[in-house]
Structure 1
Amino acid sequence: MRLSGTDEAGTDDAGTGEAGADEAGGGPPYDAVILAGGRAERFGGADKPGALVGGVPLVERVAAAVRAARTVIVAGPPRDLPGVVFTREDPPGGGPVPALRAGLAEVTSPSVVLLAADLPFLETAHVAELLAVLRGDGTGGTVGGTAGAVLVDDTGREQWLAGAWRTAVLRAALGAYGGRSLRGLLGPLAPVPVRLAAGAAPPWFDCDSIEDLRAARVRAGERRERA
């Protein structure tokens, strides 16, 4: 199922760009797939992508980080995000691999940024660095032709839902994969690890639980907002 976000005036700080080139140098066009259809069991079954940090829903914050994408695709329930394409995995809530499969079906650019919907501190500069490493001109010093690039946290752990990939490589891998694990799908592709300075708010910080959401709100200066 494919739907477009409702286009209402005055609703969007997290709107997507039309140029489809990253903001740190006008590189080749890319699309973005944001996975937002999980069961959120550690979130009490609440609408995690819609949870507010800094007064903005998590999924909108992530969409803002990829606003330069040619197309932003959200694999999850439709919501009011102008200019965004919505699709659903089959069955809904079936996990990240089916969600990626559904999202990738809407991708038309040669590169795709794959993200979780619960990364409140991801910014355009982080996305631009992932794309630069993917193309071989980032700080990772890699040669062109790598399958992908993923953020790693301060312990060196890969963040599979914070990366940039060559679309053709992902499609081929999905076509040959019958499992349910995102790590099982992406790990063998040997993406380049991208280590970024964490700063005050690490871009890989995700809101897996209500406690994580509270911590994100504290980081964002919202100590009085209820979880």
Structure 2
Amino acid sequence: MIAIDDYVLILLAAGRSERFGDADKLQQDFLGKPLAFHVVTALEDVPFKARFAVCSNTALDFGSRGYTVLHNADPGDGMAGSVKLGVRAAIELGCAGAVIALADMPRVTASHIYRLADAVDGDGENAVIASSNGVQTSPPALFGAARLPALLELAGDEGARAMVRAGRHVIAPEAELLDIDRPEDLERLRALR
């Protein structure tokens, strides 16, 4: 187990939302607030060392919610480009590692983040701990400081999948890891309430 207050949170909110259509999926209403602010609210009491939101095409004000906003001027670079922006900021700040989460996963909980931290062995320097529904891995994922430079070498939408597959996995209910990519995903989310 590691101290989560030595880790930074990198919230990825810079996707192009191509599969969602013309609307900004992060601003879509879910239970009376924008979809993206559900994960923001769920994690607001987790004492991260810092919070970075990597954004591109959203008008949502993550800055007012305690995040340092990093603008991704080229969201076409895929998830890897956003990850690199957040990781560079984390390395510059100096931290024990980073938790990478997605703004379009509104049911992620603080408890799950603490379970990721609890799964770390030793000092966590080389940790790679990802979420899983028991079949597939997904964010959120925790990376120790020694793993951060490797994240700067990523390209395209592949992200850190190979690293994550080889790391440890913490199981969460499938509904908690629901990723909203298409309008039908949002309808499925609304039906789960």
Cα deviations by residue, 1:57-111 (Å, 9 ceiling, x for unpaired): 2221112233222221111146323221111234234210010111112223212
> Which residue, 84, 99, 119 being the options, matches 1:101?
84
Q: Distance in 2 between matches of 1:74 and 1:28?
A: 17
Cα deviations by residue, 1:134-173 (Å, 9 ceiling, x for unpaired): 3x38xxxxx955421111114x1111x3211113312x21
Give ranges in structure 1 of 5+ residues lacking alignment. Answer: 1-23, 138-142, 221-227
Give ranges in structure 2 of 5+ residues lacking alignment. Answer: none
Matched-pair contact (CA < 8 Å) for 2:131–2:170: yes
Q: Distance in 2 between matches of 1:65 and 1:93?
A: 28
> Which residue, 61, 79, 99 being the options, matches 1:113?
99
Tell me which of the two structures has the higher relative contact order, counting C-alpha pairs closer than 8 angstroms and 6 or more residues apart. Answer: 2
2:129 aligned partner, one-letter code: A
| Corresponding position: 1:167 with 2:145 | yes
Q: Distance in 1 between matches of 2:28 and 2:55?
A: 14
| Corresponding position: 1:218 with 2:191 | yes
Q: Distance in 1 between matches of 2:52 and 2:189?
A: 24
Corresponding residue number in structure 2 for 1:157? 136
Q: Distance in 1 between matches of 2:38 and 2:141?
A: 16
Change in Cα spacing, 1:145 to 1:174, as seen in structure 2 (3 Å) is closer
> Which residue, 33, 56, 71 being the options, matches 1:88?
71
| Deviation of 1:204 (Å) | 0.9
Superposition RMSD in Å:
2.5
Corresponding residue number in structure 1 for 2:114? 128
Give the count of matched residue pairs.
Answer: 183
Q: What secondary structure is seen at the aligned counterpart in 2 of 1:94?
A: helix
Corresponding residue number in structure 1 for 2:178? 205
Q: Distance in 2 between matches of 1:118 and 1:62?
A: 8
Matched-pair contact (CA < 8 Å) for 2:130–2:141: yes
TM-score, normalised by the number of residues in structure 1: 0.71
2:155 aligned partner, one-letter code: G
| Deviation of 1:209 (Å) | 0.6
Matched-pair contact (CA < 8 Å) for 1:37–1:93: no
| Deviation of 1:207 (Å) | 0.8
Matched-pair contact (CA < 8 Å) for 1:73–1:87: yes
Change in Cα spacing, 1:208 to 1:92, as seen in structure 2 (3 Å) is closer
Corresponding residue number in structure 1 for 2:60? 79
2:60 aligned partner, one-letter code: R
More helix by percentage: 2
Identical amino acids, percent of aligned pairs: 23
